[in-house]
Each structure stands twice: as structure tokens, then as C-alpha cells.
Structure 1
Amino acid sequence: MTKPTLSEQIRDALLHRIVTGELTDGERLVETRIAAEFGTSQAPVREALRELEGLALIQSRPRHGRTVVPFAEQTIREAYVVRAALEEAATRLAMLRGSFSADVLAAAVTEMSRCAADGDRDGVCAASVAFHRHVVEAGDNLLLRRSWEALQIEARTMIALVTLEPSLTAVAAEHRDLLDVMRAGNVEDACRHAREHQLAYAELPVVAEDALAAPAG
């Protein structure tokens, strides 16, 4: 199993603190302090902060440095409900048009499985996004695709993987199931699987709260 890099460990630790509310809206993230906490130089901290900014969890402003952006649990929950509807519609369009490539989806699943075996969460995230993006693009609906991209899919997928800490192998298996249903050709079954796959992640904030409240040990 590939060990996470130091910057990835720092990123994930800070992500957990933001999602659970340990780091609050507007709180400054000072590179030197974080580096001292993790016993490292500022270079991996800087990389971790850049990634968190890419995930839209922190922002950088002149004279203010990097600060935490409000993490709205309801917004996350609502985004997955919207994503479920969009991906159900995209799946229906792609199935009816016969425009999706099973080979492209299979390649994404294979990559997901490989990354899962290596413990590569970033790789699983990238392959998962590639899988779903292909289905959305195969739907050939520009407004649907723009709406889907506006949900910041990469960011939300990474938040789900880091916060829920699901089995990466199970994540790959879920996508293999989605592909198998699409290959079988039943439009309604494929749409139902696409919808339920996303709705399961709409519970992310609730699970995160439960984990925070649970006693240690």
C-alpha cells in the first residue's frame, strides 16, 4: 500500500478539522504554525493549503493570508441531491442514445481498482470523477453538463472520501456495479442505480457529525 505523502497527510488532517467545525469560518491558517505542529518544513504545508484552496475550503486574500471558508453542511447535502438528479438524467440520455462507451467506463473502473489496491485515495477520486464525467458528457446536454460541473465534483468527491473514509475497494466495486447495470441495457435500472449511488453520499454531514460525537476508542 502506498503511504500518503506528508502534504496529503496534512491536507487530510486540516480537511477533517474544517468539515467537523474544529476550524471555523474565517480562522487563519498560518504556514509556520502548521509546519511546527506537524514537525515539517513549510513546503508540504504550502502544497496542502493549495489543495484545500482548490477544494474551495479555504481562501487566500491580500493582507489576510489563508482563511477557512464556511463549511455549510446543508449545502453539501443539497448538492448531492442535485447531483443525483443530474446523473440520473444523464444516464437516461446516454442509455437511450447509446452514446456511452462501456470501454471508457471499464478503464475508469480498472484504474479505480488499481488505485484502491495501492491505497491511493487521490487516484480513486480522479478515476471516479472520470467515470461520472463520461456518463454526463455522453448525455450530450450542454446545460446538464454545465450544471454538473458547477457542483465542483472533484472537491465534493474528495471531501466524501476523506470524511467518510469508505473502503476504497468498495468504492471501485460500486462503480463496477453501475457499469454492469448500464451494460445490461435496462434504462430504468441504470437510472435507479445512478440516483441511489449519489443519494447515499447526501448523508455525509450526518455521518461526519456522528463520528465526531462518538467516544474515542
Structure 2
Amino acid sequence: MARPPTVQDYVLTELRRAIVAGELRPGRPIRQESLAASLGVSRVPVREALKVLEGEGQVVHRPHHGYAVAELSLADLREVYLMRELLESEAARTAVVHLTDAEMEQVVTAQRDVAAASAAGDLAAMTEANRRFHFAILGASRLPRLVRVVRSLWDATDAYRSVYYNAPTHRETVEREHAAIVAALRARDAARLVALLAEHRDHAVAALTTIISDEGTRP
């Protein structure tokens, strides 16, 4: 994989990967000096990358303590997924109308990549392919502002999404649900597509609710 064009982009990419892979866990502090050393860069691009992630809600800055990966409360989780439901449902209905053959192929390619990453147990690759799968659908809506808002909502839950994929049963559920979503999209069945996407989100919320609850009880 080609290294991003700037040092800050490189650091940002690595931080995103570490959050998604669970190497940087919610609530855990981010040590800028050790991170800079491990990446072979100065603290300046690390600090700038953290500011970007703070703007996205993926990390938080605590006075006198520094940066930490953001923790998501159950109330936040449910609000994020409620907002996603409202926005993604509208985008899905519109996508069915505008979807081209080339866009359909992008969806199918991403679906295959999700399955391949799942089989390999590569959670970071699966998370990335899953995002491509969903945004290939949403992008066909021709509603770029809406899609940008949805992207920010996804960013807020990336750390938990990767944890969801830790369980093979969850990965199998994702693959099965993706196949049904693709079938509905091919059939241009907007009502079924919206319903399947809702079910897909509901299963994730149920699992993430358990994950967040369990993490909240740890000493």
C-alpha cells in the first residue's frame, strides 16, 4: 500500500487503523511521544492528526491529561444509530432510482472483500471493506451533503464496529445480511432494501450495547 502523500496524512491513516483494529481502545490515553517514536515522526504531525480526529469525535482532549480515544455511551450510540436510520433510509430509497451498473459492481466488489477479510480474520480490512460496501450504496443517492453527515456518524462508532467483528458469529451475520441487501438492491426493491438495512443496524446496536455495557463494568 502506498504511503499517504504527507506525514500528517500518514499519521492520520495509522491512527484510524489503530482505532479500528482495537489497538487504541475507547477511554485509553494516547501517548503522543511514544506514538511519534513508533511511527518515526515528530510530535507535530501527531498533534495535528489528533486535532482532526477530535473534530470527528473519535478522540477527546482532557485538560492536564491529553488525548484519549472517545468513549461512547449507550445514549450516544442509540442517538447515532437513530440519526443513521433516518438519513440512510432516505439515501437508500434514492439510490435505488439512480444506481448504475458500475455502482452496483462497486457494491458487489466490496461485498466480496468483506467476505474475504472475514474469512482471514482481518478485522481492519473487514471494517474498511464494510464501509466501502455501505457508502457505495449511499453514494448512489446523489445526495453528497447527506452522505457527508452519515460519514461523520460512522466515524464516531468505528472503534466499536471493529470490536463487533471480533466474534465469528457476528461476521457471519454481516455476510448473510450483506447478501440479502445486494439482492434487494439488484431488484431495485426500495422498501425491502430499507427494511434490510434497518435490521442490519439493529443487530449491530444490540451487540454494541452489550459491548459498551460490559466495558462500563470493568475496573
TM-score normalised by L of structure 2: 0.68
Larger RCO: Structure 1 or Structure 2 (Cα < 8 Å, ≥ 6 residues apart)? 1
What are the equivalent positions in structure 2 for 1:74-93 lying under 5 Å apart? 74-93=75-94
1:174 matched to 2:177? The reply is yes
1:43 matched to 2:38? The reply is yes
Determine if contact 1:160/1:204 at 8 Å carries over to the other structure: no
The letter for the 2-side match of 1:84 is E
* Cross-structure match for 1:121: 123
* Cross-structure match for 1:39: none
Work out which of the residue numbers 185, 197, 200 in structure 2 matches 1:197. Answer: 200
Alignment CA distance shift 1:67-1:97 (3 Å): closer
**Cα distance in 2 between the residues matched to 1:59 and 1:94:** 34
* Cross-structure match for 2:210: 207
Q: Which SS does the other structure have where 1:150 is aligned?
A: helix
* Cross-structure match for 1:185: 188
Give per-residue Cα distances to partners, 1:70-101, cap 9 Å, x unaligned. 53321121111211222211111011234472
Alignment CA distance shift 1:82-1:116 (3 Å): same
1:146 matched to 2:156? The reply is no
* Identical amino acids, percent of aligned pairs: 19
**Cα distance in 2 between the residues matched to 1:9 and 1:74:** 21
| TM-fit CA distance, 1:108 | 0.2
Structure 2 alignment gaps of length 5 or more: 1-16, 42-48
The letter for the 1-side match of 2:186 is R
Comparing 183-192 with 127-136, greater Cα deviation is found at 183-192
Q: Which SS does the other structure have where 1:66 is aligned?
A: strand
Work out which of the residue numbers 6, 9, 22 in structure 2 matches 1:12. Answer: 22
Alignment RMSD: 4.0
Determine if contact 1:84/1:195 at 8 Å carries over to the other structure: yes
Determine if contact 1:106/1:176 at 8 Å carries over to the other structure: no
**Cα distance in 2 between the residues matched to 1:43 and 1:116:** 28
Structure 1 alignment gaps of length 5 or more: 1-6, 36-41
Determine if contact 1:125/1:154 at 8 Å carries over to the other structure: no
The letter for the 1-side match of 2:22 is D
Comparing 126-135 with 56-65, greater Cα deviation is found at 56-65
Give per-residue Cα distances to partners, 1:143-195, cap 9 Å, x unaligned. 322321231x2452441231563423432332122111211232211121122
